[in-house]
Amino acid sequence: MKTEQHRTTDPRHRSTLRWVVAIATAALLFDGYDLVVYGAVVPVLLRDPSQIGALTAGQAGALGSYALMGVMVGALIAGAVGDHIGRRRVTVAGIVWFSLAMGLSAFATDITVFGILRFLTGIGVGALVVTAGALIAEFAPPHRRNVYNAMVFSGIPAGGVLAALLALLTSGNDGWRALFLFGTAPLVVLLPVALLRLPESPKWLLARGKAARARRLSERTGVPLPDAAADKAEENAKVGFAALATRRYAPATLLLGLMSCSGLLLTYALNTWLPEIMGQSGFGKSYALLFLLTLNGGAIVGAQIASRSADRLGPQWVIITTFVLAAVSLILLTVGLPLAVLLALVAIAGIGTIGTQVLIYGFVSNYYDTVARAAGVAWCAGFGRLGGIGGPIIGGALVSAGFSPRHAFYIFAGVAVFGALVTCFVPRRAAAVTPAPALSVPGPVTGDGASVMAHE
């Protein structure tokens, strides 16, 4: 009997996994693009009332939070339906929804309309975040899930880098509209690929009692299935959010939500307000956007390195370490240091904030079983967005109140310490119902006589 680790050498599985990773990464790239593009255009909107109206720093922070409220709603909706209707449908719907709302934002001429469209954009983003984590957990081999998860969720800071680069290239006060119009690109370049190449998860089909379809899809894609007894236990278990309230998951679910809340508060606060804070420290627009580039670039590189450690050592202690790195680097940013050192500290802060959130999504995706996975990630993304919503608002309140950048960084460092402490108390993953030995899902016979069966 082939083990799942052996089955990863199957060329069909490798090909399927490459397509899933590429599509999920591209989808989350535009999540990161949407996040950072708003922070990049905030200085323009604050200084030019002819764009969407006279905007205060407090209103700008509120506008930044509207998209995050949308993400929370979208994540919770996707979590409620994703474990019931499947990963593929939610992903396709999220791509279409996000692209249309992002494109319409380019034509907004007043604050109210712009705010509504930011909220609607967030709904599509939330759906994509939830399903991306579930897809990787169900298509990637267990011993490489943190690495593949980091690849996919590094699309978020990569999108931030793209937004910062395009913001540097655009000129004129109306350039921000072109940046938002670029957000419609997934309709042309990503949606057709997703429709052609993104399969439904065989493990989800099996967990929902659709064994025949699951076996056929497993044979076509090479994705191994869990054994029959384990699947039967999942099929009879509570599904979606109902599973999160069980004794097995409830304590961890609360702590994982607080972890995500801390990580997303730091992620959205820094991406929204770092250009403005550094501008108040005496750096011009180009330098301020350079800090934004460095923050997200550091997150991309750091998440890849940290994810390999997470696969070897387990994600929990790696996340604690990156939270601590964030706190230390943010405190050191308050010291008058040369530009090169400041950039290095911003890169480390990117690892400890955005990079930490990448690791958290991987941790959560693998913590839950198939029947509760989308709901678990939705809780992480949805409840966590309360922190994301608070990040831009806190930053806006500090800027409006005239606080120095030093005070803002101290507050954000305290959030990082809180995140590290919460992570310490997450219980070990509860063992699933123990299946009977030597049972497997029978599958169609291949040319060499091997049936499609593998243990998860």
More confident residue, 87 or 438: 87
Give me the mean pLDDT over the 221-235 stretch.
63
What pLDDT is recorded for position 451? 31
Q: Quick check: 94 pLDDT over 70?
A: yes
| pLDDT tens for each residue of 431-444 | 444 333 333 333 43
What pLDDT is recorded for position 240? 67
- Whether domain 4-424 has CATH 1.20.1250.20: the reply is yes
**Domain regions of the chain by residue span:** 4-424
Tell me the pLDDT band of 258, cut-offs 50, 70 and 90.
very high
What pLDDT is recorded for position 238? 65
More confident residue, 75 or 196: 196
**HEC sequence for the chain:** CCCHHHHCCCHHHHHHHHHHHHHHHHHHHHHHHHHHHHHHHHHHHHHCCCCCCCCCHHHHHHHHHHHHHHHHHHHHHHHHHHHHHCHHHHHHHHHHHHHHHHHHHCCCCCHHHHHHHHHHHHHHHHHHHHHHHHHHHHHCCHHHHHHHHHHHHCHHHHHHHHHHHHHHHCCCCCHHHHHHHHHHHHHHHCHHHHHHHCCCCHHHHHHCCCHHHHHHHHHHHCCCCCCHHHHHHHHHCCCCHHHHCCCCCHHHHHHHHHHHHHHHHHHHHHHHHHHHHHHHCCCCHHHHHHHHHHHHHHHHHHHHHHHHHHHHHCHHHHHHHHHHHHHHHHHHCCCCCCHHHHHHHHHHHHHHHHHHHHHHHHHHHHHCCHHHHHHHHHHHHHHHHHHHHHHHHHHHHHHHCCCCHHHHHHHHHHHHHHHHHHHHCCCCCCCCCCCCCCCCCCCCECCCCCECCCCC
Instruction: Give percent of the chain above pLDDT 90.
Output: 23
Whether pTM exceeds 0.85: no
More confident residue, 163 or 239: 163
| pLDDT tens for each residue of 288-315 | 678 878 888 888 888 888 888 888 888 8
